[in-house]
Structure 1
Amino acid sequence: MFRLSFALVVVTLAVVAPAQQLPQEWADSLHWRSIGPAAMGGRIISLAVYEKEPSTWWAATASGGLLKTSNNGITFEHQFDRESTVSIGNVAVSQSDKNVVWVGTGEGNPRNSVSYGDGVYKSTDGGKSWTNMGLHKSFQTGRISIHPTNPDIVYVGALGRLYGPNEERGLYKTTDAGKTWSKILYVDEKTGVIDVDMHPADPNTLMVATYERERDGFDTNDPSKKYGPGSAIWKTTDGGETWKRVEAGLPSCNLGRVGIDYYRKDPKVLMAMVESEIIAKQPEDAPYLGARLEAVDAGVKITEFGQTRGRGRRGRGTAPAPETPPTDTPAQKSGLKKGDVILTIGGKRVHTVDDVDRESRRHKASDKVAFKVVRDRKDVEVAVTFGNQPKNARSPFTGTLGGQAANLQDRQGPNGHEYGGVYKSEDGGETWARVNSLNPRPMYYSQIRIDPTNSDNVMVLGTSLYRSTDGGKTFGRNAGRGVHSDHHAEWIDPNNGDHIIHGSDGGIYVTYDACKNWDHLNHVAIGQFYHVGVGPRRNYRIYGGLQDNGSWGGPSRTAGLGARNQDWIRVGGGDGFRCLVDPDDPDVVYSQSQNGPPSWRNLETGQRGSLRARGGRGGGRGAGGGQRTRYNWETPYVLSGHNPKIVYTAGNVVFKSLNRGAGMKPISPDITNTDRGSATALTESPRNADIVYVGTDDGALWVTRDGGRHWADCFLVGRPRANAGGDSNGEKPAAVKGGEKEAKPEVVKELVAKKGGAAPIASLVPGPRWVSEIVASRFEANRAYVTLDGHRSDDDSPYLFMTEDAGETWRSLTETLPVGAGSTRTICEDPSNGDVLYLGTEFRAFVSLDRGKHWARFNGNLPTVAVHAFAVNVPSGEVVAGTHGRSLWITNVSAIRQMTKEVMAKGAHLYQPTSAIVWKTSPSTGGTNRRFTAQNPASGAQITYHLKKKAESVALEIIDGAGAVISTLTAKTDAGLHTVAWNLRKSSGNQPAQSRGRRFRRGGARVRPGTFTVRLTVGKDVQTRKLLVEIDPDNPDPSWMTFEEEAERLEAELGGTEEGEEHDG
């Protein structure tokens, strides 16, 4: 229950005095560099191929925009980088004009981490530019279908909002290229369209799948509602004027997700994936034998009586027998004995355990069936009466993650079609017949493809990649050998069925030999990072966790051209999340996978450890045992800033360890509002180790100011009193008294007045919201920031608050955020300047110079993308952004940290540069376009200055220790923020001798480490800053510099290097 009645309180915040504000033009001038990684790819959701030129195609990512290739994947162009949203549900290209491309925004898969869109976009220049054509509130897109000869006619399947009802969903049609839309199929405000398939020869005939689904606010695998009366297959033969709901042969119960595909050679043939609300369940009258079996030479032997363990249809008999074997199973009651070898059931010969299961399931409970067995070397006839399945029996039809296993269609009884699976129609979709039980995790996949050249070849996309060569009667699951799991998109060449383009959670794959071999096109950085952490050194390493791709680590820069796929190492599996680096020992890296406590690993020694609370203590209410601890999909944990061996983690209880997870003990009561809640954010104050905050997915926010002995609920007005005996000593967790649950208006008004406009946080939000991040300030012990993510509550507004009194009252910091910023994901305080904040939202990044009073977009060349995390490396002056769709990006913020109110007021200012490093170079290696190379920072020193207005003349010079000008740099005179790179070389007048008429592109000789002066002259205004040049910290012995200088001198004498042939790293 939410603890403060929002309707009772109206709060007017105090007017904030003007402060320094970063001009948007200055923020735009800051350059982000993409560093990948690309090795693991990212989720591909849709493919569109221009079939007249099959080397031209588009791949839509779930949250990283659109990729286009015109050379069959040798190179890709990032498109859709500057639109207002980035998540894509479907992409389609007109087969009559390859320049006409449509994108439906908002991924259609209703998974927990899915993003959202703002309608449909059209390009008329092959994806170079885009126009939003409406359907702004459709939220997510199922599929787009374009008329084959008239590109002005387009159908869009709109799914609608995932976390609540709305009317902008259903099937929309335009006949004027998107200028106007007609809603031609609408079920209700809870049901949208997930699939649209157009007849290959008659564009007025369409098959459409509607889908009723909704998620709640928790990170479960499946939607809270995934079946309903709105889910169905529909058919029109007049372009949507009239519709028929198709039901013949399909399940009569509520359906879930449906996917459809026409066979191009014969459009009377269609296939569909159909989810039923009774998927994988046992029939109510399913027969039960009650015997454990194993195959022997003669038949199938009864080894024990009782319920089969594991997957029932296997029945291998490997499970241990119960201490007291049952005496009343149907097999025993009917006279079967241990050691009997079953030969036939109902006259049908059986050789395997699967045979027994199949023949048994041709019958139902209470049927009497003749068994022939061998007993004591004699054939014996036994009349067996099947019983009912035990109530706790696990269904033998269950697949992975809520799906249904393959090739079991003849074991689900005469009404097997009710359970969903693969269906086939041979009359144009009027009637259907089930051909296979297969349906892997329907809400996430439900994709089926018929080979356009041969209807016997059928592909089903799931966690595995399934292929049938007999029209769907049987499926194997090894078509994706070597391909990353979780398959979502596929195109089969209509002229060559062996040629397939495929998309999964691991990116893009291509085969030319019908799935025997796959080529992974992993040279685009589209990773979906949940978190990022950095090491403490100047030449630091970066670690982060990705959706379904584990956790990885790699360099922030390299001595060569830039990091490549082979420079990254995997440090964790599963879905990767929060990664942290021990600041005292950077070889110790923490990582985690879904729903689980983190672990750590020493990359040098191989030593490992876990942060799991031991002893089997449940979380429960009060963490006193009895109930299991509930951990979130992304379990929060932190290393203490006072002692990194001290680690905190949280589920529905906060835990603390004094030694990297050893002796992990609870230090809080249950911190959640509901029996499903779990922690999502956790922080310890860098100023005071006794102050710890924790937030949850069900809207709770707590703080302790005494190391966990007592806890206060930040959503209450005033502190609740701690129970006298509730001190936390690791054995008896702290507890609190609830206090008043509803705030009195007069109490709130008094508190707001007392705090100068700050208010209880509950009065600033409309209800409980997911706590996405908490950051305790490094500069003030009682200051902290919290972001709330409301999109799971069907609320896309940004929420960011700051407290100056350890959680008692809060101020909103979102007033100056632009409309459309999206849900708030993360907040980061700069460790060198407490006034500088970095904010990550669903669609972009923002920066503030005055603690959130004013914000500027912090995207520059960073594309539209969800920013889930920031990490700051202090020695380098760099910020790393972990994006959920475009991997990792880095920018230098040394100048931003220095932008005080006084500095911003100056007409011209030279910022103190970060020390520069003379890096040891490495030999270049050969390469092709099929290899991703990260962007290194500009070589040498980065020197930044600003001009408030255009200057007549600007001079920027480097002076050595003797006072001599050794380099004059090109400096812009325009108003704005300017950054110039000095490559640590003397000007060309001092460069080595040249011969053969070639120009030695590097300039003069490289300087040795030392202290230099940077001088900026703007008119009569002269400013200087010291610049420290240091030797490569990884190669402190300077002898390599002598070697490289000799090599350069020799190269110059021999003729040098053509300009453009070599790039400084």
Structure 2
Amino acid sequence: GRNPIRPTLVASGFGGATWTELSGGLPNPDATNVGRIGLDIYAANPDIAYAIYTNGSNISGLFKTTNFGDSWTNVDPDDELSNGTGGFSWYFGQVRVHPTNPDIVYVLDVAFMRSVNGGANWPIIYGYGGPNILHVDHHALAFHPTNPDYILNGNDGGINISTDGGVNFTKVADLPVNQFYEIGLDRNNPERLYGGTQDNGTLRTLTGATDDWTRIFGGDGFYVIVDHSNPNIIYAESQNGNLGKSTNGGASFFGATSGISGRTNWSTPVVMDPVNSSILYYGSDRVWKTTNGASSWTAVSPVLHNATPGSRLGTVTTIGVSPALTSVVWAGTDDGKVWVTADGGSNWTNTSTGLPNRWVTRVIAHPVDEATAYATFNGLRWKEAEAKVMRTTNLGASWEDITANLPEAPVNAFAVFTDDNFRTYLFAGSDLGAYYSVDDGLSWEYISSDFPMVTVYDMKVHETADYLAIGTHARSMYKMDLAQILVGIDDPATDTAPQDFALLQNYPNPFNPTTTIE
């Protein structure tokens, strides 16, 4: 059907004082489905311009004018450009013209496409089969002001440079701009960090350095788990719950979702029992459990959401297993429900009373108290402010709002750390940075003046190495020593009760300098 927004091209020859809708060979937005329109004007002659039209999914035509928009010609009548779109032209769909040659045209889509004869044909289509150094999904193209054959290309893999007008590319050294969704830590090898990233798969470092990250699993990366009994066993996930398992340290993976069915989220939660690594939980529209390392799965919950059939909601968004008592398992959904089981999945209780009716981003169990858990919430679709962090100390029978002075923004990540003296520290990651609390949520402080104000998607504490890993959605991953974050906080080991009281001389009244107070 026709797009109700009615995309169209308009032009002004009077500095913007008046505008005229252009037609003259362009698709009619009142009669056809016109989606995104990309436009570029030839720098040396504004009478020449190219407009790329999409139909909501793919490119429907590339049109050229040589008379300031009075008339347009489709220069791709054979639909050659559709070979490089993949159904995502509504998101990409851009065109660029070489600054000194109007016949050299570039189209940015899933693929990078180049024509040297005004669009008559496209001999260069760098898509999934293009050079390994040129990532798919192209967003930006910039020309050097004095050497227009020197081109910067921005794509989902970073930045590439061409010195020959787009025939060949080299990749710029890795930039810390990955968008991490999830973090995985190796309990036995704290220097090894893993993470699932948007468009760049599952990445890891074996040394903790910044320059040796490699991809071990493809797609859009999400949850990644290292077996705490055998670090050669790794679970990695791509979008919509595509879970793989490796038994050779990530050298290869095989499918690990046998028996699972039901609707899954873009980011499908998968967690491992912190004691028994053969037990994992997976969330679709219900919770699934394996006791044999993902060889097979069994549903252990009913459908946990209450979404309207046919709606986009209706998935489990987070699962948390209590380290204190692993039979206690929590699950949250995209329609604001939080459930708990105290027997490993045989019986479930809806604990949503008193919680915000918002997308549940995390349910994190307290490390040493099986009755305590923390739930965090999104909520960009509503105008009114709602709680973003809630705490229960009685297995969900009641909840308390501990959002306190956190900013009014979605909380996407949460972590809890308890030190050897049983002092609890909370960490919250939001769309507006990262925060910590030393008073169980009564107040929050920004995590560090050195940490950027950036969206945080995941936080994990390495319990034995005492560091916090933070996955951001634009500034890659950070690792911070807990001592660095909590600097200045009294060590509870030295905060002991007094054994006696010493009284100084209260001149001129004589008395013994030391006495006992009962």
Contact residue 790 and residue 798 of structure 1 kept, 8 A = no
Residue 265, structure 1, aligned to residue 41, structure 2: no
Number of the residue aligned with 1:802: 391
Alpha-carbon distance change, 902 to 878 in structure 1, aligned in 2, over 3 angstroms: closer
Q: Deviations over 1:1001-1041 (max 9, x none)?
A: xxxxxxxxxxxxxxxxxxxxxxxxxxxxxxxxxxxxxxxxx
The 3-state SS of whatever aligns with 2:344 is: coil
Number of the residue aligned with 2:361: 772
Residue 611, structure 1, aligned to residue 262, structure 2: no
Q: CA deviation at 1:403?
A: 2.0
**Which residue of 257, 279, 295 corresponds with 1:646?**
279
Number of the residue aligned with 2:114: 467
Number of the residue aligned with 2:168: 517
Residue 534, structure 1, aligned to residue 121, structure 2: no
Q: CA deviation at 1:831?
A: 4.3
Alpha-carbon distance change, 267 to 606 in structure 1, aligned in 2, over 3 angstroms: closer
Number of the residue aligned with 2:505: none
Alpha-carbon distance change, 241 to 258 in structure 1, aligned in 2, over 3 angstroms: same
**Which residue of 73, 82, 87 corresponds with 1:433?**
73
Alpha-carbon distance change, 572 to 830 in structure 1, aligned in 2, over 3 angstroms: same
Number of the residue aligned with 1:825: 412
- TM-score by structure 1 length? 0.43
Contact residue 40 and residue 51 of structure 2 kept, 8 A = yes
Of residues 632-641 and 860-869 in structure 1, the stretch that sits farther from structure 2 once superposed is 860-869
User: Within 2, Cα distance between the matches of 1:530 and 1:431?
Assistant: 47
Number of the residue aligned with 1:668: 301
Contact residue 162 and residue 170 of structure 2 kept, 8 A = yes
**Which residue of 42, 58, 66 corresponds with 1:403?**
58
Number of the residue aligned with 2:142: 491
Residues 933-972 of structure 1 aligned to structure 2 (within 5 Å):
none
Q: CA deviation at 1:798?
A: 6.3
User: Within 1, Cα distance between the matches of 2:400 and 2:251?
Assistant: 46
Q: CA deviation at 1:496?
A: 3.6
Q: CA deviation at 1:247?
A: 3.3
User: Within 1, Cα distance between the matches of 2:181 and 2:285?
Assistant: 21
User: Within 1, Cα distance between the matches of 2:251 and 2:157?
Assistant: 27
Residues 249-648 of structure 1 aligned to structure 2 (within 5 Å):
249-252=25-28, 253-276=32-55, 402-404=57-59, 420-436=60-76, 437=79, 438=81, 440=85, 441-479=88-126, 481=131, 482-493=133-144, 495-537=146-188, 539-555=190-206, 557=208, 563=209, 565=211, 567-604=212-249, 608-614=253-259, 618=261, 629-648=262-281
User: Within 1, Cα distance between the matches of 2:141 and 2:267?
Assistant: 30
Q: CA deviation at 1:586?
A: 2.0
Q: Deviations over 1:189-222 (max 9, x none)?
A: xxxxxxxxxxxxxxxxxxxxxxxxxxxxxxxxxx
Of residues 540-549 and 868-877 in structure 1, the stretch that sits farther from structure 2 once superposed is 868-877
**Alignment RMSD:** 2.6
Q: CA deviation at 1:703?
A: 1.8
User: Within 1, Cα distance between the matches of 2:217 and 2:69?
Assistant: 46
Q: Deviations over 1:478-510 (max 9, x none)?
A: 356331111100013454442211110111111
Number of the residue aligned with 1:847: 436
Q: CA deviation at 1:271?
A: 0.5
Q: Deviations over 1:278-315 (max 9, x none)?
A: xxxxxxxxxxxxxxxxxxxxxxxxxxxxxxxxxxxxxx
Residues 727-738 of structure 1 aligned to structure 2 (within 5 Å):
none
Contact residue 451 and residue 494 of structure 1 kept, 8 A = no
User: Within 1, Cα distance between the matches of 2:233 and 2:423?
Assistant: 28
Q: CA deviation at 1:470?
A: 1.7
User: Within 1, Cα distance between the matches of 2:231 and 2:423?
Assistant: 25
Alpha-carbon distance change, 596 to 861 in structure 1, aligned in 2, over 3 angstroms: same
Number of the residue aligned with 1:681: 318
Contact residue 576 and residue 594 of structure 1 kept, 8 A = yes
Contact residue 681 and residue 772 of structure 1 kept, 8 A = yes
Contact residue 613 and residue 665 of structure 1 kept, 8 A = no
Alpha-carbon distance change, 904 to 473 in structure 1, aligned in 2, over 3 angstroms: farther
Residue 712, structure 1, aligned to residue 367, structure 2: no
Return 5+ residue gaps in structure 1 as ranges. Answer: 1-224, 278-401, 405-419, 558-562, 619-628, 718-759, 907-1065
Number of the residue aligned with 1:837: 426
Contact residue 609 and residue 661 of structure 1 kept, 8 A = no
Q: CA deviation at 1:792?
A: 4.8
Give the aligned residue type for 1:678.
T
**Which residue of 23, 26, 37 corresponds with 1:247?**
23
Residue 859, structure 1, aligned to residue 448, structure 2: yes
User: Within 1, Cα distance between the matches of 2:412 and 2:58?
Assistant: 31
Alpha-carbon distance change, 607 to 426 in structure 1, aligned in 2, over 3 angstroms: closer
Bigger CA radius of gyration: 1
User: Within 2, Cα distance between the matches of 1:429 and 1:890?
Assistant: 54
Contact residue 235 and residue 244 of structure 1 kept, 8 A = yes
User: Within 2, Cα distance between the matches of 1:454 and 1:523?
Assistant: 32
User: Within 2, Cα distance between the matches of 1:475 and 1:900?
Assistant: 67
User: Within 2, Cα distance between the matches of 1:239 and 1:673?
Assistant: 54
User: Within 1, Cα distance between the matches of 2:174 and 2:267?
Assistant: 28
Give the aligned residue type for 2:303.
D
The 3-state SS of whatever aligns with 1:894 is: helix
Alpha-carbon distance change, 533 to 791 in structure 1, aligned in 2, over 3 angstroms: same
Aligned length: 475
Q: Deviations over 1:732-786 (max 9, x none)?
A: xxxxxxxxxxxxxxxxxxxxxxxxxxxx21xxx3xx3221111011121111111
The 3-state SS of whatever aligns with 2:222 is: coil
Q: Deviations over 1:522-565 (max 9, x none)?
A: 242111111111112365200001110011111454xxxxx353
Q: CA deviation at 1:689?
A: 2.5
Give the aligned residue type for 2:401.
S
User: Within 2, Cα distance between the matches of 1:704 and 1:900?
Assistant: 37
Give the aligned residue type for 2:229.
D
Give the aligned residue type for 1:458.
V
Q: CA deviation at 1:899?
A: 4.0
Return 5+ residue gaps in structure 2 as ranges. Answer: 497-518
- TM-score by structure 2 length? 0.85
Residue 697, structure 1, aligned to residue 337, structure 2: no
Q: CA deviation at 1:477?
A: 4.5
Alpha-carbon distance change, 703 to 874 in structure 1, aligned in 2, over 3 angstroms: closer
Q: CA deviation at 1:568?
A: 2.4
Residues 70-219 of structure 1 aligned to structure 2 (within 5 Å):
none
Q: CA deviation at 1:900?
A: 5.8
Larger RCO (CA under 8 A, 6+ residues apart): 1
User: Within 2, Cα distance between the matches of 1:609 and 1:831?
Assistant: 36
Q: CA deviation at 1:713?
A: 2.0
Alpha-carbon distance change, 643 to 522 in structure 1, aligned in 2, over 3 angstroms: same
Contact residue 228 and residue 255 of structure 1 kept, 8 A = no
In terms of fraction of residues, the more helix-rich structure is: 1
The 3-state SS of whatever aligns with 1:595 is: helix
Contact residue 216 and residue 250 of structure 2 kept, 8 A = no
Q: CA deviation at 1:905?
A: 8.1
Number of the residue aligned with 1:626: none
The 3-state SS of whatever aligns with 2:391 is: strand
Contact residue 784 and residue 806 of structure 1 kept, 8 A = yes
**Which residue of 467, 477, 480 corresponds with 1:888?**
477
Contact residue 445 and residue 462 of structure 1 kept, 8 A = yes
Alpha-carbon distance change, 266 to 897 in structure 1, aligned in 2, over 3 angstroms: closer
* Overall identity of the aligned pairs, in %: 30
User: Within 2, Cα distance between the matches of 1:796 and 1:266?
Assistant: 51
